[in-house]
Structure 1
Amino acid sequence: MTTLKSIPLLLIFPIVFFINDSVLAQEQPLQLTSAQAIEDFNWLRFSLEYVHPRLYKYDSKIAVDARFDSVRAQVNNGISGLDFLALVRQVNASVRCGHLYTIPQGQLEKEVLSKKVLPFQIKVLEDSIYVLHDCSNASIRNGSSILSINGVQSKKILTSILPGIASDGYIQTRKLRLMERYIYYPFQGFDLYYHLHVDRSDVFKIEYLEYGTGKKKSVTIPGISIEERSKLLLKKYRIDSQAWFKTPSPSLAINEQKNYALLTVSRSFYNKAIDPDFSSFLDSTFYALKSKKIDNLIIDLRNNEGGSEQQQMELMSYLYDQPFRLYQHIYLSHLDFRPLRQVIIERDTSNLLFNNDDSYMRKINDHLWINNYEYSDNLMLKPPKANVFKGKLYVLMNGTCFSSAADLVADLKKTTTAVFIGEETGGTYEGPTGGDAIVIQLPNSKIMVRISPNIQLGYMYQIHPVGRGVLPTHPIKYTIKDVVENVDLEMELAKALIQKSK
């Protein structure tokens, strides 16, 4: 039997996709028969009902069942693979769990990666879409506002896309920021969302208001491959689409003259090839802050998707001067996942019954277990470090702060007097549905769905709007002019507040 305590609780998974000629090879689009689509949908429904511990957190069982029944009716006569993928995404997104990932595999993945995409990146501000870094021959100015694409108005595009983006609770900032992520092409980003939920054309008629002049213009441009756009972005704008993976994290800059330091933690996935050892880095960092008598610390967590709970706990031990632990409780939907043996992947299917001989987990009801006592590392109180920081904290955050990174922000909200600058974090304040994942693959479409059976309830929970992330002390709203001019409003405000406090 699988041992429950041995399962690593990584709250998000690092996946790097390399697009090559074999992936982009053209094949006939996937088409599912009525029987195939119904079989896949029935497995999806059963898996969500069996595994997900918060399936009815935001909607009643009656409402969820009605939604399932409605989608089931849409696949009765067969369906294309891409249309089925779009439906599965919307079903999963309706659960309001950011850790519920929908990832095409096999033929569907090839279709998604071989599609023609817009030859530019986009920025979403409020309910408007803007052009950034145009790689076409049309030379659309940076910051131009898109009025429509192929006759579909920008607002309609956004309202069509948003229901298919999985995000925690009622948090919208993560949905908006995920549109702008050009990293995980098979399951995130505007290219995918537009292709699945709006239009699958290879040619795009763009109507837009030109940045700077306000002139209304129209241009028809051919789509290009993801790989071609990446090459053009690097050549024309020196933008490396994989820079997030290549930039060392964490990093530190100290300004002794102005009495502040900047600690940037852009990733929580450790890459031994480029990243410093986290524990050693923090040890030297906070020794330096204390010895140099630095009173102000800016922690930049923007775009940190989460990952390592060890990093989260380690950093907390330098920022809070009392004993602390990550979670008050850990819940689990089931100990026995053998009913899913036929569709489970990424796990030894001969070990689907978790070992609970020592009664670590106590059964609450037929669908929920709770830790019975506290020897899990994440449930143990950890003492603060000797060089714990006692100055003023300024936390920079946005909707891409997710999973363990969003939890860290919530921990700081509960325990410190930190100033929070930016926008609502992408993970719920009360704690994530994260941890270990039960990964299934639908037998005919080959769509992979990662479902977490866990609930982690954050330590020292305080009253907070359910289903919302940490809200900023100082909300930041960008204009397209700020974006075009590469202004960093969060950083500017943090430095201004530090100067003002002197």
Structure 2
Amino acid sequence: MPRIPCIVTLLFVCPVVKAQQKYSPQQVAHVLGDVADALDKFHPGAYRYQSKNDFAAYVDSVKGTIKDSATQVEMYRKIKPLVSRVGCLHTDFSMTEKYKQELNRSPNLLPLRLYFKDDKAWITDNFSNHPLISPGDEITTINGRSIGEILRQVLPAIPSDGYNQTMKYLALYRQFPLWYRHMVEVTEHFDITTISGGQPRSVRLKGMMEKDLAGNGFLSEPVFARQLELKIKDATAYLTIRSFADSYIKRSGQSFKPFMEEAFKELQNKGVKNLVIDLRDNTGGSDGNAAYLSGFFFDAPYRYWKRVTCTPAIAAKIKGVAKIWWRKPVQQDSLWLWQKGKRSGEFDYVDEQQPAAHPFAGKVYVLINGFCMSSCADLSAVLYSNRKGLFIGEETGGGYQGNNSGMMPGIHLKPSKMMLTVPLQKYETAVDTARFFGRGTMPDVPVELSLNDILQKRDRVMEVTDSLIAGNSNVAQRR
């Protein structure tokens, strides 16, 4: 979903306060209270997956743990799980850039990449060059903490839509050293125990700095020469869409709609019978691009979104200058519905959508995983609900019934300057409201990322897909 920075100045006045290194218990409680109040007042999906009473009880339980003064990272560890409890991957609570820069000035990141499964972890990459550590070794403790204990501290802080876990575990694979530092401890030494060849080992590792550890797709966003790719082999086409974000697509010298127009013309001209759409790791972007793509799979009018709503407090703020861009939301029973904008097309997809002039008529296979988020997850849900393809891989990280996103202002919190990001729009996709509630789009053919696949650099999801197309696969399917 797109961010619209100007809404920050239109809807909120963000105070500028002097940063502090330590905060009293009263100040920490004040920040916690402001976070809870902002979520209750402005977040349209704060109670999408939890009751108001349950959330209030959780807030009170966190307040009860505030006994001593705290640094920013200590405050973060108390409040971040509360924010993630909302079940919204677009809602964020972050430390100040200045404080994060201070953390990054020392070598305090674990120099390993880990794959997690349940309460276990295995090393896939060793950046320490320590001779007693090898990819495939199981790691059992870090600084005296078991993997299960660490996960119980870290997983509740990682945001995802609803009750989804695939996104959380994929985030651990790609970002664990940062999550460990932020949620467990800041340290420059790591005493780890491993199991290698059935034998336990104890090793001390020195931490690394983020600038030395981050690589393409590990602790940083992956970089691609092209965001959109089409390859045709015999009667099968492979369409890879790494992002729906116009900024990323333009950066790679491409334009979404012209690319898709040409791509589907080529599919038709070459008589392609099977189309594989690879949406894995597509974290979203423009709703217009995702909705536009959906039209190539329908031959009759269809619904994309059911509605888009906001809280009464946000509806009341659409006045004055703000009305240049947005129409005031209208009340329908207990809901406040966003209307089509005056200068913005972001709510256009609530209307009935029209199919493309020449929709694809062959078989469609959609590859998904836990990093299919936001508009990518919306598209997946709409195609799945209308049986427009066979879905292969893992549950999407974005919710099946929709998400909370759109305009996402940042609220600076006194006296810390830490920031709470609150989405102002609740999107509901035009799908069954009971199916997969609190989950993402589920695959028809589940193919889980495994340790062996990573170590062997094997794309088993694509292998299974090719076998299904060839008609020689016995893989069980569900629908």
CA pair 11-456 structure 1, distance change in 2 beyond 3 A: farther
Give 1:67 deviation, angstroms: 1.2
Which residues in structure 2 correspond to 1:278-293 (within 5 Å)?
A: 278-293=256-271
* Aligned match for 1:362, one of 331, 351, 361: 331
Is 1:138 aligned to residue 114 of structure 2? no
Given that residues 360 and 371 in structure 1 are in contact (C-alpha distance below 8 angstroms), is that contact kept between their aligned partners in structure 2? yes
CA pair 128-240 structure 1, distance change in 2 beyond 3 A: closer
| Deviations 1:459-498 (CA, angstroms, capped at 9, x unpaired) | 2446403111111111112432221001111000000000
- Find the aligned partners of 1:329 and 1:221 in 2 and give their Cα distance: 52
Which residues in structure 2 correspond to 1:89-238 (within 5 Å)?
A: 89-115=80-106, 116-139=108-131, 140-181=133-174, 189-210=175-196, 213-230=197-214
- Find the aligned partners of 2:91 and 2:274 in 1 and give their Cα distance: 37
- Find the aligned partners of 1:351 and 1:485 in 2 and give their Cα distance: 59
- Find the aligned partners of 1:135 and 1:395 in 2 and give their Cα distance: 34
Give 1:158 deviation, angstroms: 1.3
Q: Which amino acid aligns with 1:87?
A: K
Partner in structure 2 of residue 24 of structure 1: none
- Find the aligned partners of 1:481 and 1:265 in 2 and give their Cα distance: 26
Partner in structure 2 of residue 464 of structure 1: 435
CA pair 219-421 structure 1, distance change in 2 beyond 3 A: same
**What's the RMSD between the two structures over aligned residues?**
2.8
Give 1:193 deviation, angstroms: 1.8
CA pair 354-89 structure 1, distance change in 2 beyond 3 A: farther
Higher alpha-carbon deviation: 152-161 or 403-412 = 152-161
SS at match of 2:312: coil
Is 1:491 aligned to residue 477 of structure 2? no
Partner in structure 2 of residue 342 of structure 1: none
Given that residues 319 and 328 in structure 2 are in contact (C-alpha distance below 8 angstroms), is that contact kept between their aligned partners in structure 1? no
- Find the aligned partners of 2:137 and 2:358 in 1 and give their Cα distance: 49
SS at match of 1:393: strand
Partner in structure 2 of residue 344 of structure 1: none
Give 1:335 deviation, angstroms: 5.3
- Find the aligned partners of 1:199 and 1:357 in 2 and give their Cα distance: 44
Q: Percent identity?
A: 27
Give 1:107 deviation, angstroms: 3.3
Given that residues 98 and 427 in structure 1 are in contact (C-alpha distance below 8 angstroms), is that contact kept between their aligned partners in structure 2? yes
CA pair 50-204 structure 1, distance change in 2 beyond 3 A: same
Q: Which amino acid aligns with 2:210?
A: I
Given that residues 340 and 348 in structure 2 are in contact (C-alpha distance below 8 angstroms), is that contact kept between their aligned partners in structure 1? no
- Find the aligned partners of 1:201 and 1:56 in 2 and give their Cα distance: 37
CA pair 161-476 structure 1, distance change in 2 beyond 3 A: same
Partner in structure 2 of residue 22 of structure 1: none
CA pair 240-12 structure 1, distance change in 2 beyond 3 A: farther
Partner in structure 2 of residue 305 of structure 1: 283
Unaligned ranges ≥5, structure 2:
6-18, 474-479
CA pair 146-267 structure 1, distance change in 2 beyond 3 A: same
Which residues in structure 2 correspond to 1:269-418 (within 5 Å)?
A: 269-270=245-246, 271=248, 272-334=250-312, 336=314, 360-362=329-331, 364-365=333-334, 368-371=335-338, 376-418=347-389
SS at match of 2:244: coil
| Deviations 1:371-422 (CA, angstroms, capped at 9, x unpaired) | 4689942223332222311111111111111111111110110123411111
Given that residues 245 and 285 in structure 2 are in contact (C-alpha distance below 8 angstroms), is that contact kept between their aligned partners in structure 1? yes
Given that residues 52 and 333 in structure 1 are in contact (C-alpha distance below 8 angstroms), is that contact kept between their aligned partners in structure 2? yes
Is 1:85 aligned to residue 72 of structure 2? no
SS at match of 2:135: coil
Give 1:435 deviation, angstroms: 1.4
- Find the aligned partners of 2:183 and 2:364 in 1 and give their Cα distance: 42
Partner in structure 2 of residue 266 of structure 1: 242
Partner in structure 1 of residue 51 of structure 2: 60
Given that residues 11 and 404 in structure 1 are in contact (C-alpha distance below 8 angstroms), is that contact kept between their aligned partners in structure 2? no
Q: Which amino acid aligns with 1:418?
A: G
Given that residues 399 and 438 in structure 2 are in contact (C-alpha distance below 8 angstroms), is that contact kept between their aligned partners in structure 1? yes
CA pair 208-43 structure 1, distance change in 2 beyond 3 A: same
- Find the aligned partners of 1:150 and 1:293 in 2 and give their Cα distance: 59
Given that residues 313 and 325 in structure 1 are in contact (C-alpha distance below 8 angstroms), is that contact kept between their aligned partners in structure 2? no
- Find the aligned partners of 1:370 and 1:111 in 2 and give their Cα distance: 43
Higher alpha-carbon deviation: 264-273 or 171-180 = 264-273
Q: Which amino acid aligns with 1:221?
A: L
- Find the aligned partners of 1:373 and 1:497 in 2 and give their Cα distance: 42
- Find the aligned partners of 1:110 and 1:264 in 2 and give their Cα distance: 35
SS at match of 2:76: helix
Q: Which amino acid aligns with 2:452?
A: K
- Find the aligned partners of 1:58 and 1:330 in 2 and give their Cα distance: 17
Q: Which amino acid aligns with 2:80?
A: R
Give 1:241 deviation, angstroms: 6.4
Q: Which amino acid aligns with 1:218?
A: S
Partner in structure 2 of residue 30 of structure 1: 21
Give 1:65 deviation, angstroms: 1.2
Aligned residue pair count:
452
CA pair 331-129 structure 1, distance change in 2 beyond 3 A: same
- Find the aligned partners of 2:144 and 2:231 in 1 and give their Cα distance: 48
Given that residues 131 and 146 in structure 1 are in contact (C-alpha distance below 8 angstroms), is that contact kept between their aligned partners in structure 2? yes
- Find the aligned partners of 1:487 and 1:113 in 2 and give their Cα distance: 33
- Find the aligned partners of 1:240 and 1:159 in 2 and give their Cα distance: 22
Given that residues 102 and 447 in structure 1 are in contact (C-alpha distance below 8 angstroms), is that contact kept between their aligned partners in structure 2? yes
- Find the aligned partners of 1:201 and 1:240 in 2 and give their Cα distance: 20
* Aligned match for 1:424, one of 390, 395, 405: 395
SS at match of 1:88: helix
Q: Which amino acid aligns with 2:411?
A: I
- Find the aligned partners of 1:377 and 1:330 in 2 and give their Cα distance: 10
* TM-score, normalising length: structure 1: 0.83
Give 1:152 deviation, angstroms: 0.9
- Find the aligned partners of 2:222 and 2:271 in 1 and give their Cα distance: 32
CA pair 352-469 structure 1, distance change in 2 beyond 3 A: farther
Given that residues 29 and 66 in structure 2 are in contact (C-alpha distance below 8 angstroms), is that contact kept between their aligned partners in structure 1? yes
CA pair 107-487 structure 1, distance change in 2 beyond 3 A: same
Q: Which amino acid aligns with 1:305?
A: T
- Find the aligned partners of 1:242 and 1:74 in 2 and give their Cα distance: 33
Give 1:110 deviation, angstroms: 2.1
Partner in structure 1 of residue 61 of structure 2: 70
CA pair 477-51 structure 1, distance change in 2 beyond 3 A: same
Give 1:11 deviation, angstroms: 7.2
- Find the aligned partners of 1:159 and 1:461 in 2 and give their Cα distance: 32
